[in-house]
Amino acid sequence: MTDQTTEMPSTCLLEAEPRKRIGGSKAATMHKLLSRRNGATVVQLQKQLDWQPHTVRAAISRLRSSGVSIELDRSGKVARYRVIDGEGQ
């Protein structure tokens, strides 16, 4: 019996286009988005960082525990998170 190896042709491999991030790391990108005047929604952070909603919320929690003051604004239709006290500027 002979060993058969199946190789996928290189044309079958899909190359994902890398997302353009604002900073050098995802944490820096998230902090920059949260530092904007209107902050950012979970959906905006999801799309920019390519994360699941629970990952976004966990990262916000980690930022808070590291000493960054983050405000949650639920006054509109969608909740927005924003860095307060001029920490992101």
Whether 7 has a pLDDT exceeding 70, the answer reads: no
What is the pLDDT confidence band of residue 88, given thresholds at 50, 70 and 90?
Answer: very low
Instruction: Tell me how far CA of residue 52 lies from CA of 55, 67, 84, in angstroms.
Output: 5, 23, 24
**For residue 38, what are the domain limits?**
22-83
- For residue 38, being part of any structural domain is answered with yes
Q: What is the pTM (predicted TM-score) of this model?
A: 0.67
- For residue 58, being part of any structural domain is answered with yes
- For residue 12, being part of any structural domain is answered with no
Question: In sequence order, which residues have a C-beta less than 8 Å from that of residue 83 and are 6 or more positions away?
Answer: 31, 34, 35, 39, 68, 69, 70, 71
- For residue 34, being part of any structural domain is answered with yes
Average pLDDT of every residue of the chain: 82
Q: At 37, which CATH number?
A: 1.10.10.10
Give how many domains the chain has, as a whole number.
Answer: 1
